[in-house]
Structure 1
Amino acid sequence: MTIKSYSYEAEALVKEYLLAESFVPYISVLGGIAMCKMAYDITHWFSSQYIDGYRSLTKVQRIEWNNRGMSSAHAIYITVMSLFLVFYSDLFSDDAPGGPTVFRSSPLSIFTLGVSVGYFITDLAMIFWSYPSLGGMEYVSHHLLSVFAISYAILSGEGQLYTFLCLISETTTPGVNLRWFLDVTGMKRTKTYIVNGVVMFFSWVVARLLLFMFLFYHLYCHYEQVKQMDSFAYVIVFSVPSVLAVMNVVWFGKILRGLRRTLTKSQ
């Protein structure tokens, strides 16, 4: 009986405090940081054991390799969760109850966004620590903008739908990382490299160009709701996707040029 009593008390404490909605953002951010550490370590362990090319890399390249493994893990997680919350669940459905779409949130959506904040904070710390080997100011700007916009969506509960639509674009990250993995391990002239480039091109078109067009179309169709948002949230909802859309177009131009060079050399 004593053991059962302690068990019930522990369960009540977890539900009342650890899973309380006010604690979810902080727990999820810490969880995101822990996930990054685990993904980084697993990438290092697996690569050193099973990938011959990894052992021949320089120390800086190994750090970037592990960092890209970490970013791929986050990309897979946030893509799956964002697709589920936006297109499968009823959280942001126009027909579902719960008031205007732009004001909807849930403990699951808050937790999902918090994990993403944890990732961007961790990656930013690594970028600053190894600057500029892991990325220049464009990555710093992208990550700072992401942390700011996602954190505000968590704390205010406004515009989370558009935050998730932007985060779906992370689906292109594993392809970008794989391209780098193949390059540094001397597989740039293989069919795998060419196929990856073609897949990356089409996924970029869908996830970073067409998806942003849908986002702006949704903003247009739901403008009566959007203009009810807090003035700060209103500015974020329009400015952040716009800046990211411009960055996506610039990066897409680089991908297009790289793919053209790759296909030309393969002929």
Structure 2
Amino acid sequence: MDPFSQLILIISVTSFFTFQWLFHRVSPWLSVRISPGFLGLSDKQKVEWNSRTVSTFHALLVGIFCLYILFFDDAVNEDPVWGDPTLVKTNVAITTGYLISDLLLIFYYWKAIGDKFFVVHHLAALYAYYYVLGQGMLPYFANFRLLAEFSTPCVNQRWFFEVLGYPKSSRPNMANGVAMAVVFFLVRIGVMPVYYSRMYAVYGTEAFYLVPWGGRVAWICSSICLDIMNIMWMHKIARGCYKVLRSAQRSKAGAPQENGKMD
């Protein structure tokens, strides 16, 4: 094993244990001090709270790293299939450690945070990342997919509001809900044309045929699988936002004014 591969393995293992430590130690300690309402949550809610806290930290960390690569890593942007994957592999190694850590927590706390779609999502991503870390291929596409992580903090914040007792029709929760839907659409749905147009541009080139069959399956099938789930989640989020906005409109329309008339 070459020195850089050893470093990537160390980063992945360190990432795994770091996210376990964040879940079991840091999140409970920090949450009590930031939000006293944490103590009033049920055991299942505390498990999900800690899981979402950790996923928020991961999303911000790899998301910022992802943007840096997207804007400043010329080698990856000029050769999306075989460009120098050094920074991408580092970022993907962090995510790999997180995904394995999260899978372990999902299975251990299945009654609290178990979700078959998250298991499929994590396994599909790990399958694709195996080729990125092992053979350094497709760095641009691996990095581009990590843009989706920017939707995680908004999704989690909405859950935090609701579990702490904010009604869905409250202004903070409504504003966060709209922001969540917009961000989710931009980084998971709106970027699809860019992603697949770049994939189409590469398809059939010499660089493409240098990718082994397993790598092509991991690249194409994992992308389609992940985006099908993204569309499903977007549909669910959009329906939820629509219901909340409709409820708020009805409440406003039914609220009596000072002159006794209705809006």
TM-score by length of 1: 0.87
Match of residue 192, structure 1, among 150, 172, 187: 172
Aligned mates of 2:225, 2:85 — CA distance in 1? 27
1:151 is aligned to 2:133 = no
Q: Following TM superposition, where does structure 1 have runs of at least 4 consecutive aligned residues deviating by more than 3 angstroms? A: none
Partner of 1:91: 75
Q: Runs of 5+ in structure 1 lacking a partner?
A: 1-16, 95-99
Partner of 1:232: 214
Q: Aligned residue pairs: how many?
A: 245
Compute the displacement of 1:38 (Å): 4.0
1:208 is aligned to 2:188 = yes
Partner of 1:37: 20
Q: Runs of 5+ in structure 2 lacking a partner?
A: 250-263
Aligned mates of 1:86, 1:47 — CA distance in 2? 33
Aligned mates of 1:160, 1:107 — CA distance in 2? 9
Contact 1:212–1:241 (8 Å) recurs in 2: no
Aligned mates of 1:66, 1:111 — CA distance in 2? 25
Contact 1:92–1:104 (8 Å) recurs in 2: yes
Compute the displacement of 1:43 (Å): 2.0
Match of residue 59, structure 2, among 75, 80, 87: 75
Change (3 A) 1:218 1:229: same
Aligned mates of 1:37, 1:166 — CA distance in 2? 24
Partner of 2:88: 109
Contact 1:29–1:118 (8 Å) recurs in 2: yes
- Alpha-carbon displacement from aligned partner over 1:169-220 (angstroms, at most 9, x marks no partner): 0110111111111111101332111111111111111100121221100011
Q: Secondary structure at the match of 2:112?
A: coil
Compute the displacement of 1:36 (Å): 0.9
Compute the displacement of 1:222 (Å): 1.9
Aligned mates of 1:145, 1:237 — CA distance in 2? 10
The amino acid that maps onto 1:59 is D
Contact 2:107–2:114 (8 Å) recurs in 1: no
Aligned mates of 2:5, 2:234 — CA distance in 1? 39
Contact 2:99–2:126 (8 Å) recurs in 1: yes
- Alpha-carbon displacement from aligned partner over 1:150-181 (angstroms, at most 9, x marks no partner): 12211011112111111110110111111111
The amino acid that maps onto 1:146 is A
Partner of 2:3: 20
Which is worse superposed, 217-226 or 137-146? 217-226
1:251 is aligned to 2:195 = no
- Following superposition of structure 1 onto structure 2, how do residues 124-163 of structure 1 map, counting pairs within 5 Å? 124-163=103-142
Aligned mates of 2:139, 2:192 — CA distance in 1? 15
Compute the displacement of 1:264 (Å): 1.4
Partner of 2:260: none
Aligned mates of 1:167, 1:152 — CA distance in 2? 16
Percent of matched pairs sharing the same residue? 26
Contact 2:77–2:140 (8 Å) recurs in 1: no
Aligned mates of 2:184, 2:127 — CA distance in 1? 24
Compute the displacement of 1:135 (Å): 3.0
Cα root mean square deviation, aligned? 1.7
Aligned mates of 1:213, 1:106 — CA distance in 2? 23
Aligned mates of 1:146, 1:93 — CA distance in 2? 21
Compute the displacement of 1:63 (Å): 1.2
